[in-house]
A = this chain, B = another copy of it.
Amino acid sequence: MRDVVVIGAGMTKFGELWEKSIKDIFVEAALKAIDDAGVDHIDSMYVGAMSSGLFVGQEHLGAVMADYLGVTPIPATRVESACASGGASFRQAYLEVASGASEIVLAGGVEKMTDGADVTEALATAADQEYEVYQGITFPGLYAMIARAHMERYGTTREQLAAVAVKNHRNGAKNPNAQFRSEVTAEQVMKSTMVADPLRLLDCSPVSDGAAAVIVASMEVAKKLKKNPIRVIASSQASDTIALHSRRDITTLDSVVRAAQKAYKLADKKPSDINLVEVHDCFTIAEITATEDLGFFEKGTGGEAAEKGWTSIECKRIPVNTSGGLKSKGHPVGATGVAQIIELYEQLNGKAGARQVEGARIGMAQNMGGSGASCVIHILEAI
């Protein structure tokens, strides 16, 4: 497979973007990415979106966005893998360039969640409709069960969960595109409204609108443009049972473990080689399990690592979610996986401003769908 690189990135601010349509925000992000890359055309494009039919009554987003972006007749395809739709979109763009079929491909992601749809019901379609949703379970409930099991088995504490939110809000406060640019204290997290015991409001990522896009290209294109390319040194994806009750152990997300093993192998790297990681912290517990399942900390010690500050930008052991993560940056589900790539792109180019991890050369992004039935992992390296 030939080398594939990222040469441009753009995103909207994440948040409640009531004055803009799903088309507006996608086009805004895509134009920024095209402008950043300095390309005069794209050969093809992908749109990651989870549930635009239920959220805004619009499917067929590939063609819709190609039209409004003014790039017809190029191929334009929507990719969906629940909250991992953005990561899956990036992966398809990567595969298309790797195949040699295209030289320059836009990988985008978008979701418009605040326009009036029943968000909890729409998100629940990422779970097993027949065996989970029909019984009344929702995503905060599923992750609350994971959290409770993790606390029981490993002694993870309420304070440790809160430490994730505190750190991610601290990082997000430095991110101009974040939905919440406010710091929170552990006490505020632990006193926030209960959502699904033990998860409280400030343990949960918000409902967001937003779009993100990157330009993926062959190394030949990057050289011609004299761009400073960031190379994709691993793209991996794994699935797991859709329903939580079918898993062998709900405190370990096997899709994350499997995708990580594959990614490290493809990149010929190990966890200690990674300078920063964006993980899918849809709930605080998800960051704790992810940092364990990705191999950064031993199983059961992710909570302790968060509490001790080992995941902060300052500590440098393994900065996690320097962007603010889903928790503070926001979580427009289809856009999230692409926004993670953007954070790596900025960090590896040394352009992350106040969030910069000094000397960062290798970054990882872990994007997840449902309660872990999908996981997409990418490792990027500055050349």
Enumerate chain A interface residues (CB-CB to B < 8 A). 1, 21, 23, 44, 50-51, 53-54, 56-64, 66-68, 71-82, 88, 91-92, 95-96, 98-101, 122, 125-130, 133, 235-243, 246, 254-255, 258-259, 369-370, 373-374
Chain B residues contacting A254 (CB-CB under 8 Å) are 73
Chain B residues contacting A133 (CB-CB under 8 Å) are 57
Decide: A101 near B92, CB < 8 A? Known: A73-B258, A77-B79: no
**Smallest CB–CB gap between A61 and chain B, Å?**
8
**Smallest CB–CB gap between A132 and chain B, Å?**
11
Query: How many angstroms between the C-alpha atoms of A236 and B43 in the bound complex?
Result: 12
Inter-chain contact B370/A63, CB cutoff 8 Å: yes
Find the B residue at minimum CB distance from A89. B77
Inter-chain contact B59/A240, CB cutoff 8 Å: no
Inter-chain contact B258/A129, CB cutoff 8 Å: no
Inter-chain contact A374/B237, CB cutoff 8 Å: no
**Smallest CB–CB gap between A366 and chain B, Å?**
14
Decide: A67 near B246, CB < 8 A? Known: A60-B82, A76-B374: yes
Query: How many angstroms between the C-alpha atoms of A240 and B64 in the bound complex?
Result: 9
Inter-chain contact B60/A242, CB cutoff 8 Å: yes
Find the B residue at minimum CB distance from A126. B60
Partner of A76, one of B44, B59, B76, B239: B239
Chain B residues contacting A101 (CB-CB under 8 Å) are 1, 95, 98, 235
Find the B residue at minimum CB distance from A99. B99
Inter-chain contact B242/A63, CB cutoff 8 Å: yes
Inter-chain contact B60/A255, CB cutoff 8 Å: no
Query: How many angstroms between the C-alpha atoms of A60 and B333 in the bound complex?
Result: 12
Chain B residues contacting A95 (CB-CB under 8 Å) are 92, 95-96, 99, 101
Find the B residue at minimum CB distance from A133. B57
Chain B residues contacting A51 (CB-CB under 8 Å) are 53, 59
Chain B residues contacting A82 (CB-CB under 8 Å) are 59-60, 63
Q: Majority SS of interface residues in chain A?
A: mixed
**Smallest CB–CB gap between A223 and chain B, Å?**
21
Decide: A369 near B240, CB < 8 A? Known: A1-B100, A54-B53, A374-B76: no
Find the B residue at minimum CB distance from A82. B60
**Smallest CB–CB gap between A339 and chain B, Å?**
19
Chain B residues contacting A374 (CB-CB under 8 Å) are 60, 62-63, 76
Query: How many angstroms between the C-alpha atoms of A228 and B130 in the bound complex?
Result: 40
Inter-chain contact A64/B128, CB cutoff 8 Å: yes
Decide: A80 near B98, CB < 8 A? Known: A53-B53, A73-B255, A75-B238: no
11 examples of A-B residue contacts, CB within 8 angstroms = A53-B53, A60-B127, A62-B80, A62-B374, A63-B82, A67-B242, A73-B240, A74-B238, A75-B238, A76-B237, A78-B81
Chain B residues contacting A369 (CB-CB under 8 Å) are 60, 63
**Smallest CB–CB gap between A80 and chain B, Å?**
4
Find the B residue at minimum CB distance from A266. B101
Please name 17 further chain A to chain B contacts, defined as beta carbons within 8 Å, in addition to the given A67-B243, A77-B81, sorted by A numbering. A54-B59, A56-B129, A58-B129, A59-B80, A59-B82, A60-B81, A61-B80, A63-B239, A64-B242, A67-B240, A67-B242, A72-B240, A73-B255, A73-B258, A80-B80, A95-B96, A99-B100
